[in-house]
Structure 1
Amino acid sequence: MKAMIFAAGRGERMRPLTDSCPKPLLKVRGRPLIVWQILSLVRAGITEIVINHAHLGQMIEDTLGDGSRFGARLLYSPEGTALETAGGIAQARHLLGEQPFIAVSGDIWCPHFDYSELLTVLEDEDPWGKPLPEDQRDMAWLYLVKNPPFHPEGDFALNNFALANEGQPKLTFANIGVYRPQMFDGIPPGTHAKLGPLLRQYADQGRIGGDVYRGEWHNVGTIDQLEALNLPPQGNRP
Protein backbone atom coordinates (compact mmCIF):
# COMPACT_ATOMS: atom_id res chain seq x y z
CA MET A 1 0.00 0.00 0.00
CA LYS A 2 1.17 3.54 -0.80
CA ALA A 3 0.62 6.65 1.27
CA MET A 4 0.21 10.36 0.61
CA ILE A 5 1.14 13.11 3.04
CA PHE A 6 -0.50 16.49 2.52
CA ALA A 7 2.08 19.27 2.79
CA ALA A 8 0.78 22.03 0.51
CA GLY A 9 -0.97 24.28 3.04
CA ARG A 10 0.21 27.82 3.73
CA GLY A 11 -0.20 27.62 7.52
CA GLU A 12 -1.55 31.16 7.92
CA ARG A 13 -2.20 30.82 11.66
CA MET A 14 1.42 29.80 12.21
CA ARG A 15 2.86 33.01 10.77
CA PRO A 16 5.49 34.40 11.06
CA LEU A 17 7.08 30.94 11.46
CA THR A 18 5.62 29.73 8.17
CA ASP A 19 6.82 32.78 6.25
CA SER A 20 10.21 31.13 6.01
CA CYS A 21 9.48 27.47 6.80
CA PRO A 22 6.74 25.18 5.46
CA LYS A 23 4.40 24.18 8.26
CA PRO A 24 5.17 20.41 7.96
CA LEU A 25 8.86 21.16 8.58
CA LEU A 26 8.21 22.88 11.92
CA LYS A 27 9.73 20.76 14.64
CA VAL A 28 8.15 18.96 17.57
CA ARG A 29 10.66 17.55 20.03
CA GLY A 30 13.54 17.97 17.64
CA ARG A 31 11.93 16.39 14.59
CA PRO A 32 9.87 17.96 11.75
CA LEU A 33 6.16 17.15 11.93
CA ILE A 34 6.23 15.45 8.54
CA VAL A 35 9.18 13.25 9.54
CA TRP A 36 7.15 11.89 12.47
CA GLN A 37 4.57 10.76 9.90
CA ILE A 38 7.15 9.29 7.52
CA LEU A 39 8.75 7.23 10.27
CA SER A 40 5.38 5.98 11.53
CA LEU A 41 4.44 4.86 8.02
CA VAL A 42 7.77 3.13 7.49
CA ARG A 43 7.41 1.38 10.85
CA ALA A 44 4.19 -0.14 9.48
CA GLY A 45 5.93 -1.31 6.30
CA ILE A 46 4.56 1.51 4.15
CA THR A 47 7.59 2.86 2.33
CA GLU A 48 6.27 4.39 -0.94
CA ILE A 49 5.09 7.85 0.04
CA VAL A 50 3.83 10.72 -2.13
CA ILE A 51 4.11 14.26 -0.75
CA ASN A 52 2.32 17.20 -2.33
CA HIS A 53 3.58 20.72 -1.78
CA ALA A 54 3.06 24.33 -2.81
CA HIS A 55 4.25 27.00 -0.35
CA LEU A 56 8.06 26.76 -0.07
CA GLY A 57 7.77 23.31 -1.61
CA GLN A 58 11.37 23.12 -2.77
CA MET A 59 12.45 23.44 0.85
CA ILE A 60 10.44 20.29 1.63
CA GLU A 61 12.17 18.39 -1.18
CA ASP A 62 15.60 19.68 -0.20
CA THR A 63 15.07 18.70 3.45
CA LEU A 64 13.59 15.24 2.92
CA GLY A 65 15.36 14.21 -0.28
CA ASP A 66 14.51 10.83 -1.76
CA GLY A 67 13.57 9.43 1.65
CA SER A 68 16.28 6.78 1.72
CA ARG A 69 17.63 7.88 5.08
CA PHE A 70 14.18 7.19 6.57
CA GLY A 71 13.87 3.82 4.85
CA ALA A 72 11.29 5.27 2.45
CA ARG A 73 10.95 6.16 -1.21
CA LEU A 74 9.55 9.67 -1.45
CA LEU A 75 7.86 11.05 -4.56
CA TYR A 76 6.69 14.64 -4.89
CA SER A 77 3.60 16.19 -6.42
CA PRO A 78 4.21 19.95 -6.79
CA GLU A 79 1.29 22.35 -7.02
CA GLY A 80 1.66 25.92 -8.20
CA THR A 81 -0.99 26.95 -5.69
CA ALA A 82 -2.47 24.61 -3.12
CA LEU A 83 -5.28 22.58 -4.72
CA GLU A 84 -7.02 21.60 -1.44
CA THR A 85 -7.10 18.01 -0.26
CA ALA A 86 -9.19 16.29 -2.93
CA GLY A 87 -7.55 18.39 -5.64
CA GLY A 88 -4.13 17.39 -4.32
CA ILE A 89 -5.05 13.72 -4.52
CA ALA A 90 -6.37 14.13 -8.07
CA GLN A 91 -3.13 15.86 -9.07
CA ALA A 92 -1.10 12.97 -7.62
CA ARG A 93 -3.26 10.13 -8.99
CA HIS A 94 -0.59 9.05 -11.46
CA LEU A 95 1.81 8.50 -8.56
CA LEU A 96 -0.66 6.74 -6.27
CA GLY A 97 -1.78 3.96 -8.62
CA GLU A 98 -5.10 2.13 -8.67
CA GLN A 99 -5.07 0.45 -5.25
CA PRO A 100 -6.36 1.92 -1.97
CA PHE A 101 -3.89 4.29 -0.37
CA ILE A 102 -3.40 5.98 2.98
CA ALA A 103 -3.60 9.77 3.16
CA VAL A 104 -2.63 11.85 6.18
CA SER A 105 -2.00 15.50 6.92
CA GLY A 106 1.61 16.50 7.36
CA ASP A 107 0.83 18.88 10.23
CA ILE A 108 -0.74 16.48 12.75
CA TRP A 109 1.26 14.92 15.56
CA CYS A 110 0.22 11.42 16.65
CA PRO A 111 3.52 9.67 17.40
CA HIS A 112 2.00 6.36 18.51
CA PHE A 113 -0.50 5.80 15.70
CA ASP A 114 -0.11 2.34 14.16
CA TYR A 115 -0.59 2.61 10.40
CA SER A 116 -0.53 -1.17 10.00
CA GLU A 117 -4.13 -1.10 11.22
CA LEU A 118 -5.10 0.52 7.91
CA LEU A 119 -3.70 -2.13 5.60
CA THR A 120 -6.86 -4.25 5.51
CA VAL A 121 -9.75 -1.95 6.46
CA LEU A 122 -11.19 -1.61 2.94
CA GLU A 123 -12.64 -5.03 2.16
CA ASP A 124 -13.66 -6.34 -1.25
CA GLU A 125 -15.46 -9.36 0.26
CA ASP A 126 -18.24 -9.85 2.78
CA PRO A 127 -17.60 -11.72 6.09
CA TRP A 128 -18.29 -15.03 4.33
CA GLY A 129 -15.67 -14.46 1.62
CA LYS A 130 -18.14 -13.58 -1.14
CA PRO A 131 -17.07 -10.68 -3.41
CA LEU A 132 -18.99 -7.49 -2.72
CA PRO A 133 -20.52 -5.65 -5.68
CA GLU A 134 -18.49 -2.54 -6.40
CA ASP A 135 -21.39 -0.25 -5.48
CA GLN A 136 -21.52 -1.80 -2.00
CA ARG A 137 -17.84 -1.49 -1.11
CA ASP A 138 -16.66 1.19 1.29
CA MET A 139 -14.89 3.93 -0.63
CA ALA A 140 -12.93 5.18 2.36
CA TRP A 141 -12.13 4.46 5.99
CA LEU A 142 -11.47 7.37 8.35
CA TYR A 143 -10.26 7.72 11.89
CA LEU A 144 -12.12 10.08 14.20
CA VAL A 145 -10.93 11.65 17.45
CA LYS A 146 -12.51 13.35 20.44
CA ASN A 147 -13.47 16.90 19.49
CA PRO A 148 -10.58 19.31 20.20
CA PRO A 149 -11.33 22.73 21.69
CA PHE A 150 -11.03 24.46 18.32
CA HIS A 151 -13.63 22.16 16.71
CA PRO A 152 -16.27 21.37 19.37
CA GLU A 153 -19.09 20.53 16.94
CA GLY A 154 -17.24 17.61 15.31
CA ASP A 155 -17.62 16.27 11.77
CA PHE A 156 -19.28 12.85 11.67
CA ALA A 157 -21.28 10.47 13.80
CA LEU A 158 -20.16 6.85 13.96
CA ASN A 159 -22.66 4.00 13.89
CA ASN A 160 -21.34 0.42 13.87
CA PHE A 161 -18.10 1.46 12.15
CA ALA A 162 -19.96 3.52 9.52
CA LEU A 163 -19.72 7.30 9.28
CA ALA A 164 -22.91 9.33 9.17
CA ASN A 165 -23.52 13.00 8.52
CA GLU A 166 -26.37 13.08 11.03
CA GLY A 167 -26.58 11.80 14.58
CA GLN A 168 -24.95 12.37 17.93
CA PRO A 169 -22.36 12.42 19.29
CA LYS A 170 -20.27 13.79 16.49
CA LEU A 171 -16.51 13.33 16.47
CA THR A 172 -13.71 15.07 14.57
CA PHE A 173 -12.01 13.67 11.48
CA ALA A 174 -8.40 13.01 12.47
CA ASN A 175 -7.06 13.67 8.95
CA ILE A 176 -6.01 10.02 8.73
CA GLY A 177 -7.75 7.76 6.24
CA VAL A 178 -7.64 5.14 3.50
CA TYR A 179 -9.23 5.88 0.13
CA ARG A 180 -10.06 4.09 -3.08
CA PRO A 181 -8.58 6.14 -5.92
CA GLN A 182 -11.83 5.82 -7.87
CA MET A 183 -13.34 8.35 -5.44
CA PHE A 184 -11.45 11.04 -7.30
CA ASP A 185 -12.26 10.06 -10.89
CA GLY A 186 -14.48 13.10 -11.33
CA ILE A 187 -11.78 15.63 -10.41
CA PRO A 188 -9.46 16.61 -13.28
CA PRO A 189 -5.80 17.15 -12.31
CA GLY A 190 -5.11 20.79 -11.54
CA THR A 191 -8.58 21.40 -10.10
CA HIS A 192 -9.13 23.00 -6.69
CA ALA A 193 -11.40 20.62 -4.77
CA LYS A 194 -12.09 20.04 -1.08
CA LEU A 195 -12.38 16.56 0.40
CA GLY A 196 -15.24 17.27 2.80
CA PRO A 197 -18.10 17.39 0.26
CA LEU A 198 -16.91 14.13 -1.32
CA LEU A 199 -16.79 12.39 2.05
CA ARG A 200 -20.26 13.60 2.95
CA GLN A 201 -21.61 12.37 -0.39
CA TYR A 202 -20.35 8.84 0.23
CA ALA A 203 -21.30 8.95 3.91
CA ASP A 204 -24.89 9.57 2.82
CA GLN A 205 -24.62 6.37 0.76
CA GLY A 206 -23.30 4.43 3.78
CA ARG A 207 -19.97 3.85 2.07
CA ILE A 208 -17.50 5.45 4.49
CA GLY A 209 -16.24 3.21 7.30
CA GLY A 210 -14.41 4.38 10.36
CA ASP A 211 -13.25 3.98 13.91
CA VAL A 212 -12.16 6.12 16.86
CA TYR A 213 -8.51 6.76 17.65
CA ARG A 214 -8.00 7.31 21.37
CA GLY A 215 -4.25 7.86 21.45
CA GLU A 216 -2.33 11.12 21.57
CA TRP A 217 -3.29 13.32 18.63
CA HIS A 218 -2.72 17.00 17.95
CA ASN A 219 -3.65 19.11 14.94
CA VAL A 220 -0.86 21.66 15.24
CA GLY A 221 -2.54 24.85 14.12
CA THR A 222 -1.13 27.64 16.28
CA ILE A 223 2.23 28.74 17.62
CA ASP A 224 0.92 28.22 21.17
CA GLN A 225 0.16 24.57 20.36
CA LEU A 226 3.62 24.07 18.88
CA GLU A 227 5.29 25.63 21.90
CA ALA A 228 3.22 23.51 24.30
CA LEU A 229 4.26 20.30 22.53
CA ASN A 230 7.89 21.35 22.80
CA LEU A 231 7.79 21.92 26.56
CA PRO A 232 9.84 19.40 28.56
CA PRO A 233 7.83 16.58 30.15
CA GLN A 234 6.20 17.66 33.40
CA GLY A 235 8.66 15.81 35.63
CA ASN A 236 11.68 17.33 33.86
CA ARG A 237 10.68 20.97 34.07
CA PRO A 238 12.80 23.24 36.27
Structure 2
Amino acid sequence: MQAMILAAGRGERLRPLTDSCPKPLVDVGGQSLLWRHLVALEQTPVTQVVVNGAWLAEQVFAEVARYAQQAKARLPSQWQWHAQLEPAGGLETAGGIIMALPQLGEQPFWVVNADILTDFNWSVMPQTLAEGMLAHLVLVPTPAFKTVGDFGLDEQGYVSAEGGWTFSGISLLSPDLFKGLTVSRLGLAPLLRNAMAQGRVTGQVYNGYWQDVGTLERLAQARQDVQAR
Protein backbone atom coordinates (compact mmCIF):
# COMPACT_ATOMS: atom_id res chain seq x y z
CA MET A 1 0.00 0.00 0.00
CA GLN A 2 1.26 3.47 -0.89
CA ALA A 3 0.45 6.80 0.74
CA MET A 4 1.24 10.43 0.04
CA ILE A 5 1.50 13.18 2.64
CA LEU A 6 0.90 16.59 1.10
CA ALA A 7 3.49 18.85 2.72
CA ALA A 8 4.33 21.48 0.10
CA GLY A 9 2.09 24.31 1.27
CA ARG A 10 3.51 27.75 2.04
CA GLY A 11 1.29 28.38 5.06
CA GLU A 12 0.58 32.03 4.29
CA ARG A 13 -2.09 32.30 6.99
CA LEU A 14 0.37 31.01 9.60
CA ARG A 15 2.93 33.71 8.97
CA PRO A 16 5.21 34.88 10.50
CA LEU A 17 5.60 31.42 12.06
CA THR A 18 5.97 29.77 8.66
CA ASP A 19 8.56 32.25 7.41
CA SER A 20 11.18 30.02 9.03
CA CYS A 21 9.24 26.82 9.76
CA PRO A 22 7.35 24.93 7.05
CA LYS A 23 3.69 24.41 7.91
CA PRO A 24 3.94 20.59 8.26
CA LEU A 25 6.62 21.03 10.93
CA VAL A 26 4.58 23.32 13.16
CA ASP A 27 4.76 21.92 16.68
CA VAL A 28 1.58 20.67 18.33
CA GLY A 29 2.07 19.08 21.73
CA GLY A 30 5.76 18.35 21.26
CA GLN A 31 5.49 16.79 17.81
CA SER A 32 5.20 18.23 14.33
CA LEU A 33 2.04 17.66 12.34
CA LEU A 34 4.07 15.69 9.81
CA TRP A 35 5.54 13.43 12.49
CA ARG A 36 2.07 12.70 13.83
CA HIS A 37 0.87 11.59 10.40
CA LEU A 38 3.86 9.31 9.93
CA VAL A 39 3.21 7.68 13.30
CA ALA A 40 -0.50 7.26 12.49
CA LEU A 41 0.42 5.34 9.33
CA GLU A 42 2.67 2.90 11.21
CA GLN A 43 -0.10 0.43 12.05
CA THR A 44 -1.35 0.21 8.47
CA PRO A 45 -0.40 -1.77 5.36
CA VAL A 46 1.50 1.25 3.99
CA THR A 47 5.07 0.38 3.05
CA GLN A 48 5.89 3.36 0.83
CA VAL A 49 5.28 7.00 1.65
CA VAL A 50 5.77 9.94 -0.69
CA VAL A 51 6.24 13.32 0.98
CA ASN A 52 6.29 16.39 -1.22
CA GLY A 53 7.91 19.67 -0.34
CA ALA A 54 8.38 23.11 -1.84
CA TRP A 55 8.68 25.87 0.77
CA LEU A 56 11.63 25.08 3.10
CA ALA A 57 11.52 21.56 1.69
CA GLU A 58 14.90 20.60 3.11
CA GLN A 59 13.44 20.93 6.62
CA VAL A 60 10.45 18.78 5.66
CA PHE A 61 12.62 16.01 4.25
CA ALA A 62 15.01 16.15 7.21
CA GLU A 63 12.04 15.58 9.53
CA VAL A 64 11.00 12.47 7.61
CA ALA A 65 14.58 11.19 7.66
CA ARG A 66 14.71 11.65 11.46
CA TYR A 67 11.42 9.82 11.83
CA ALA A 68 12.59 6.94 9.61
CA GLN A 69 15.74 6.55 11.68
CA GLN A 70 13.94 6.68 15.01
CA ALA A 71 11.11 4.36 13.91
CA LYS A 72 13.34 1.91 12.05
CA ALA A 73 12.86 -0.89 14.57
CA ARG A 74 9.07 -0.56 14.39
CA LEU A 75 8.73 -0.33 10.63
CA PRO A 76 8.62 -3.31 8.23
CA SER A 77 11.86 -4.00 6.41
CA GLN A 78 10.31 -3.01 3.08
CA TRP A 79 9.18 0.41 4.36
CA GLN A 80 10.61 3.32 2.42
CA TRP A 81 9.91 6.95 1.71
CA HIS A 82 10.41 9.20 -1.26
CA ALA A 83 11.15 12.94 -1.12
CA GLN A 84 9.46 14.87 -3.89
CA LEU A 85 10.93 18.33 -4.39
CA GLU A 86 8.53 20.63 -6.21
CA PRO A 87 9.19 23.98 -7.91
CA ALA A 88 9.05 27.16 -5.85
CA GLY A 89 5.42 27.86 -5.04
CA GLY A 90 4.47 24.20 -5.31
CA LEU A 91 2.19 22.49 -7.80
CA GLU A 92 -1.07 22.55 -5.82
CA THR A 93 -2.64 19.28 -4.73
CA ALA A 94 -3.38 17.51 -8.01
CA GLY A 95 -0.17 18.71 -9.63
CA GLY A 96 1.87 17.30 -6.77
CA ILE A 97 0.04 13.97 -6.91
CA ILE A 98 0.55 13.72 -10.68
CA MET A 99 4.28 14.28 -10.17
CA ALA A 100 4.29 11.47 -7.58
CA LEU A 101 2.43 8.89 -9.69
CA PRO A 102 5.60 7.04 -10.78
CA GLN A 103 6.32 6.32 -7.10
CA LEU A 104 2.70 5.67 -6.11
CA GLY A 105 2.19 2.91 -8.66
CA GLU A 106 -0.86 1.68 -10.50
CA GLN A 107 -3.13 0.83 -7.56
CA PRO A 108 -5.25 3.22 -5.46
CA PHE A 109 -3.27 5.06 -2.79
CA TRP A 110 -4.02 7.02 0.36
CA VAL A 111 -3.51 10.78 0.53
CA VAL A 112 -3.51 12.99 3.63
CA ASN A 113 -3.01 16.72 4.04
CA ALA A 114 -0.13 17.46 6.39
CA ASP A 115 -1.88 20.49 7.88
CA ILE A 116 -4.60 18.67 9.79
CA LEU A 117 -4.62 17.28 13.32
CA THR A 118 -6.83 14.25 13.78
CA ASP A 119 -7.38 11.00 15.67
CA PHE A 120 -8.61 9.31 12.49
CA ASN A 121 -8.07 5.55 12.67
CA TRP A 122 -6.69 4.34 9.35
CA SER A 123 -7.99 0.83 10.03
CA VAL A 124 -11.46 2.00 8.92
CA MET A 125 -10.13 3.41 5.66
CA PRO A 126 -10.72 1.30 2.53
CA GLN A 127 -7.64 0.04 0.74
CA THR A 128 -9.43 -0.55 -2.55
CA LEU A 129 -12.09 1.29 -4.52
CA ALA A 130 -15.39 -0.16 -5.65
CA GLU A 131 -15.52 -1.04 -9.34
CA GLY A 132 -15.50 2.05 -11.53
CA MET A 133 -14.82 4.46 -8.67
CA LEU A 134 -12.08 7.08 -8.90
CA ALA A 135 -11.96 8.33 -5.32
CA HIS A 136 -13.15 7.72 -1.77
CA LEU A 137 -13.23 10.72 0.57
CA VAL A 138 -13.37 11.04 4.34
CA LEU A 139 -15.83 13.79 5.25
CA VAL A 140 -16.25 15.57 8.57
CA PRO A 141 -18.96 17.80 10.03
CA THR A 142 -18.43 21.33 8.76
CA PRO A 143 -16.58 23.33 11.43
CA ALA A 144 -17.79 26.67 12.73
CA PHE A 145 -15.15 28.67 10.87
CA LYS A 146 -16.71 27.67 7.53
CA THR A 147 -20.01 29.09 6.31
CA VAL A 148 -20.83 26.22 3.93
CA GLY A 149 -19.78 22.62 3.44
CA ASP A 150 -17.78 21.17 0.58
CA PHE A 151 -19.70 18.09 -0.49
CA GLY A 152 -22.82 16.03 0.02
CA LEU A 153 -23.13 12.32 0.83
CA ASP A 154 -26.17 10.21 -0.03
CA GLU A 155 -27.49 7.08 1.66
CA GLN A 156 -25.69 4.85 -0.84
CA GLY A 157 -22.34 6.43 0.03
CA TYR A 158 -21.90 8.51 -3.12
CA VAL A 159 -20.41 11.98 -2.78
CA SER A 160 -21.96 14.95 -4.57
CA ALA A 161 -20.52 18.35 -5.39
CA GLU A 162 -22.74 20.28 -2.98
CA GLY A 163 -23.72 19.56 0.60
CA GLY A 164 -23.08 20.11 4.26
CA TRP A 165 -19.98 18.00 4.81
CA THR A 166 -16.37 19.19 4.76
CA PHE A 167 -13.57 17.27 3.05
CA SER A 168 -11.12 16.19 5.75
CA GLY A 169 -8.06 16.05 3.52
CA ILE A 170 -7.98 12.25 3.80
CA SER A 171 -8.73 10.20 0.70
CA LEU A 172 -8.16 7.06 -1.33
CA LEU A 173 -7.48 7.97 -4.94
CA SER A 174 -7.16 6.01 -8.16
CA PRO A 175 -4.33 6.90 -10.53
CA ASP A 176 -7.05 6.97 -13.21
CA LEU A 177 -8.39 10.19 -11.66
CA PHE A 178 -5.35 11.87 -13.19
CA LYS A 179 -5.30 9.96 -16.48
CA GLY A 180 -4.01 12.00 -19.40
CA LEU A 181 -2.84 14.89 -17.22
CA THR A 182 0.71 16.21 -17.05
CA VAL A 183 2.59 17.84 -14.20
CA SER A 184 1.41 21.43 -13.75
CA ARG A 185 -0.15 23.68 -11.12
CA LEU A 186 -3.51 22.00 -10.72
CA GLY A 187 -6.02 21.78 -7.89
CA LEU A 188 -7.71 18.56 -6.82
CA ALA A 189 -11.25 19.89 -6.34
CA PRO A 190 -12.10 20.31 -10.06
CA LEU A 191 -11.05 16.73 -10.76
CA LEU A 192 -13.11 15.42 -7.86
CA ARG A 193 -16.18 17.41 -8.89
CA ASN A 194 -15.91 16.07 -12.42
CA ALA A 195 -15.72 12.52 -11.06
CA MET A 196 -18.69 13.21 -8.77
CA ALA A 197 -20.74 14.31 -11.77
CA GLN A 198 -20.06 10.87 -13.21
CA GLY A 199 -21.09 9.13 -9.97
CA ARG A 200 -17.57 7.85 -9.40
CA VAL A 201 -16.75 9.15 -5.92
CA THR A 202 -17.73 7.43 -2.66
CA GLY A 203 -17.23 8.63 0.88
CA GLN A 204 -17.58 8.06 4.58
CA VAL A 205 -18.16 10.35 7.56
CA TYR A 206 -15.69 10.67 10.41
CA ASN A 207 -17.15 12.14 13.59
CA GLY A 208 -14.02 11.99 15.73
CA TYR A 209 -11.45 14.66 16.45
CA TRP A 210 -10.35 16.69 13.42
CA GLN A 211 -8.87 20.16 13.23
CA ASP A 212 -7.63 22.10 10.25
CA VAL A 213 -4.45 23.87 11.33
CA GLY A 214 -4.44 26.55 8.67
CA THR A 215 -4.44 29.75 10.72
CA LEU A 216 -2.77 30.98 13.90
CA GLU A 217 -6.12 30.84 15.71
CA ARG A 218 -6.76 27.23 14.71
CA LEU A 219 -3.17 26.29 15.58
CA ALA A 220 -3.70 27.72 19.05
CA GLN A 221 -6.91 25.68 19.35
CA ALA A 222 -5.13 22.51 18.23
CA ARG A 223 -2.41 23.01 20.82
CA GLN A 224 -5.02 23.61 23.49
CA ASP A 225 -6.89 20.46 22.46
CA VAL A 226 -3.75 18.31 22.70
CA GLN A 227 -2.83 19.77 26.07
CA ALA A 228 -6.31 19.03 27.40
CA ARG A 229 -6.13 15.32 26.60
TM > 0.5 between the two?
yes
2-structure distance, mates of 1:229, 1:48: 28
2:172 to 178, 200, 206: 178
2:159 counterpart residue number: 163
Amino acid at match of 1:218: Q
1-structure distance, mates of 2:228, 2:152: 34
The answer as to 2:155 corresponding to 1:147 is: no
2-structure distance, mates of 1:85, 1:104: 11
**Partner SS for 2:136:** strand
2:207 to 193, 209, 214: 214
Tell whether the 8 Å contact from 2:52 to 2:84 is kept in structure 1 after alignment.
Answer: yes
Unaligned runs of 5+ in 2: none
**Partner SS for 2:190:** helix
TM-score normalised by structure 1 residue count:
0.87
1:55 counterpart residue number: 55
TM-score normalised by structure 2 residue count:
0.90
Shift, 1:186, TM fit: 2.4
* Alignment RMSD: 1.5
2-structure distance, mates of 1:56, 1:188: 25
1-structure distance, mates of 2:228, 2:41: 25
Shift, 1:143, TM fit: 0.6
Unaligned runs of 5+ in 1: 125-136
1:76 counterpart residue number: 83
The alignment of Structure 1 onto Structure 2 pairs a total of residues equal to 218
1-structure distance, mates of 2:84, 2:145: 30
Deviations 1:13-64 (A, max 9, x none): 0000100000000011111001111111112232311001100001111222
Tell whether the 8 Å contact from 1:108 to 1:218 is kept in structure 2 after alignment.
Answer: yes
> Bigger shift: 93-102 or 148-157?
148-157
Tell whether the 8 Å contact from 2:35 to 2:63 is kept in structure 1 after alignment.
Answer: no
2:44 counterpart residue number: 44
Shift, 1:121, TM fit: 4.6
**Partner SS for 1:165:** strand
